[in-house]
């Protein structure tokens, strides 16, 4: 949003300074710079007997390992580092960045190209894995709440449960529920996951959360029962998918209130 620090911010269309990158991505960037160097240095005693093709394949494995741990940037850095140190340590003249043999030049270029392509594929696989885990987490929230709506003896139990879920899902500093009141005109989280401030549509992806608390209304069977008041936390705005899950949780709360009889505070 997310990303989002380097990786997180990139997911939200923004870039962040390196010191705000998640620890995993910072470690991957460090590994991208250092791991190819260390592996190439380890191969130096064997450079006269080890074919350049095999040496390049070993370095590609290093690039894949780095890419699977970090972002695309880390993978590209690892590919560049691998090509550079392959040239420096493993091709004649040794310990210079000159290459005399045409075959060695071709191998170095192929190492770079293959390393970059593989790093993109590995990073994409990692992102798809994260998305799958995130989707499963969202579904689990919805299922837990649906089960509670069916089994809870009190709608207040559902309200408290959803308050906790929303706080975790949206990274809120605080969340409270107001029964049957519509005081003031705070920013509102809409059914489509967008945010409105007054009559203006607010773009949370580019502008962040608006100032103050944000209301998320709970309706049941077309009737308004109350609203969650969301106090945003300091992190990035959650992705649209998470905001749509929040709307679904509010609707489930409304359904629970609709079947519970008279609502407290009315």
d(CA 174, CA 250): 16
Q: Closest by alpha carbon to 155, among 223, 229, 226?
A: 226
Instruction: Sort strands 214-220 and 200-202 into parallel, antiparallel or unpaired.
Output: unpaired
Q: 174-216: per-residue pLDDT in tens? A: 999 999 878 888 999 999 889 999 888 888 888 889 999 999 9
The rounded Cα 204 to chain-centroid distance in angstroms is 16
- The pLDDT tens digits of the residues spanning 101-143 come to 888 888 888 888 887 887 777 777 776 777 677 788 898 999 9
CA pair distance 172, 194, nearest whole angstrom: 17
Q: How far is CA 253 from CA 41, 74, 147, 151, in A?
A: 61, 43, 12, 13
Distance CA 92, CA 100 (A): 7
249: tokens are 């949780």
- Give yes or no for residue 4 having a pLDDT over 50: no
pLDDT of residue 19: 44
Set out the domains of the chain in order of their start, with CATH numbers: 6-130 (no CATH), 152-258 (3.30.450)
User: pLDDT class for 20, splitting at 50, 70, 90?
Assistant: very low
């Amino acid at each position: 949003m997310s990303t989002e620090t380097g990786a997180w911010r990139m997911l939200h269309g923004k870039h962040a300074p390196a010191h705000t990158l998640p620890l995993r991505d910072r470690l991957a960037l460090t590994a991208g710079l250092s791991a190819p160097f260390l592996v190439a240095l380890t191969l130096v005693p064997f450079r006269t007997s080890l074919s350049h093709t095999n040496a390049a394949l070993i370095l590609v494995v290093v690039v894949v390992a780095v890419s699977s741990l970090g972002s695309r940037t880390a993978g590209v850095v690892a590919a560049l580092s691998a090509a550079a140190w392959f040239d420096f340590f493993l091709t004649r003249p040794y310990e210079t960045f000159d290459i005399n043999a045409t075959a060695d030049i071709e191998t170095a270029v192929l190492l770079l190209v293959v390393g970059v392509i593989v790093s993109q594929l590995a990073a994409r696989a990692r992102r798809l894995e994260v998305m799958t885990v995130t989707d499963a987490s969202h579904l689990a929230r919805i299922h837990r709440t649906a089960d509670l709506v069916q089994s809870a003896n009190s709608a207040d139990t559902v309200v408290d449960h959803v308050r906790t879920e929303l706080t975790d899902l949206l990274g809120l500093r605080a969340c409270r529920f107001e029964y049957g009141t519509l005081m003031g005109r705070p920013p509102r989280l809409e059914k489509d996951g967008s945010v409105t401030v007054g009559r203006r549509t607010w773009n949370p992806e580019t502008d962040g959360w608006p100032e103050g608390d944000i209301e998320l209304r709970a309706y049941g069977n077309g009737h308004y029962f109350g609203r969650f008041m969301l106090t945003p936390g300091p992190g990035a705005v959650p992705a649209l998918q998470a905001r749509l899950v929040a709307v679904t949780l509010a609707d489930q709360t409304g359904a629970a209130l609709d079947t519970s009889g008279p609502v407290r505070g009315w």
